[in-house]
Amino acid sequence: MRQYIVQKGDTLLRIAAKYGLAREQLITANPWAGQQPYLLPGQMMFLPASLRRRYVIQEGDSPESIACTFHFQPETLEDMNPGMSIYTFPIGKTIVLPPSKPRHRIRLSGEYGPRDLAVDLDVLTAQYPKIECSTIGVSVMGKPLYAVKIGVGQRHLHVNASLHANEWITTPCLLRFLENYASALTEGYHIDGYDPDKWYQNYTLWLVPMANPDGVELVQEGVLPDHKYYDQLLHWNGERDDFRRWKANIHGVDLGDQFPAHWEEEIERRGKTAPCPQDYAGTAPLCEPEAEALARHTLQISPVRALSLHSQGQEIYWNYRGYEPPESERWAVTLGKASSYRPVKLQGSDAGYKDWFIQHFRRPGFTVEIGRGINPLPVEDFEDLCVEVGSIMTAFMSLD
């Protein structure tokens, strides 16, 4: 077995993905790793041999047909099978298959955090010039809050994700839609029967793909003693070092309760008076830099409709205290039909982004709870969630 020294930011899933292993293989080789919530820099791990895909050559097979089926280049077969020639392909011979070539840039190699987002935005903007990226502010810890723009239309749309830290899977799902949209524009194909060029000409779509980067990083990597808020975070988390259920930002403020829409009533309803993993609304509306930046950006672009991605529940919330316009319910039904999610008329909730947007602009706003399960949703659900989010976004772009 090879040895590996854990680095800052490493997780079991990230190491497994990097070396072509399963998480369970790592735990089998390193039983202690399954008994602690996070890996710590400097810990030594043993890496077992990676699992390799094997295939028995069938009658009628060719290097090209197998490569097409399993998504790799035919010539790489010789690299994985020393001594084999692609010109002699005997039936019944067992061969090792090369890794599949990824179909998308946006994919999961373990958890998806702020560093992954920064790298992927650089790649997407370089590959697709119609995508523009800027920042609308910084988080408590100084991480950039990115805004992504695509389209030239006079009517603006807004979508945000990862407002809650342990709902981070909403970020790569949203970026997968962006990648598919930009690819369809570039290559000239339709998305589910819709012409993306019409979207591009009629609307300017703005995405804030990770509104709570500090919280996302905390959920995925935990906290070390050199962190500025180490003692406070442990105290706010009940002295537990497992932050996977954390929804708030690094100040222990729930950004989903930070917006000036009957904020005082939400404070009273929640009953939280100090920082904690969730439901503490802070000392005042928009007192946290992430919420303030998101609200300021929304005011600047004045969207005709907005959507906030959360997880989980497979539900769509569309109303707020009667401030919503008449078309909101009908459009929620349209989004629900596209995704098989259930439109819900929500009561007894205030101070959310959707609530503030509807109250301030009197325009349609939606909260979409993607997937089903316990947050953070498992990475194994990612591809299915991408389909669901893609269907919702396609319908959202096409509402009229």
Spatial CB neighbours of 144, under 8 Å, sequence gap ≥ 6: 118, 135, 138, 213
Q: What is the pLDDT of residues 194-238, one digit of tens each?
A: 999 999 999 999 999 999 999 999 999 999 999 999 999 999 999
What is the homologous superfamily of the domain 54-96 according to CATH? LysM domain (3.10.350.10)
End-to-end CA gap in the chain: 59
Tell me which of 133 and 85 has the higher pLDDT.
Answer: 133
State CA 339 to chain mean position distance: 17
* Other Cβ atoms within 10 Å of 167 Cβ, number: 26
Burial of 20-56, coded b for 16+ CB within 10 Å and e otherwise, reads: ebebebbeeebeebeeeebbeeeeebebeeeeeeeee
Q: What is the pLDDT of residues 162-200, one digit of tens each?
A: 999 999 999 999 999 999 999 999 999 999 999 999 999
Q: What is the per-residue pLDDT for 277?
A: 98
User: Is 90 exceeded by the pLDDT of residue 98?
Assistant: no
Mean pLDDT within 314-330:
98
Check the CA dihedral 349-353-354-360 and report its sign.
Answer: positive
Q: What is the CATH number of domain 2-47?
A: 3.10.350.10
Residue with tokens 């790489």: 76
Which ranges in the chain are annotated with CATH 3.10.350.10?
2-47, 54-96
Residue 369 is a catalytic residue: yes
Cα separation, 291 vs 353, in Å, equals: 9
Going by pLDDT thresholds of 50, 70 and 90, the confidence category of residue 19 is: confident
User: Is 80 exceeded by the pLDDT of residue 88?
Assistant: no
Cα separation, 23 vs 51, in Å, equals: 12
Cα separation, 266 vs 243, in Å, equals: 24
In 209-288, alpha helices (H)? 213-221, 230-236, 263-270
What is the homologous superfamily of the domain 114-215+286-398 according to CATH? Zn peptidases (3.40.630.10)
Which of the following is catalytic: 179, 221, 290, 369?
369
User: Is 90 exceeded by the pLDDT of residue 400?
Assistant: no
Which ranges in the chain are annotated with CATH 3.40.630.10?
114-215+286-398
* Other Cβ atoms within 10 Å of 249 Cβ, number: 29
Q: Tokens representing 305? A: 């409709």
Cα separation, 263 vs 259, in Å, equals: 7
Q: What is the per-residue pLDDT for 86?
A: 67
Q: What is the pLDDT of residues 274-312, one digit of tens each?
A: 999 999 999 999 999 999 999 999 999 999 999 999 999
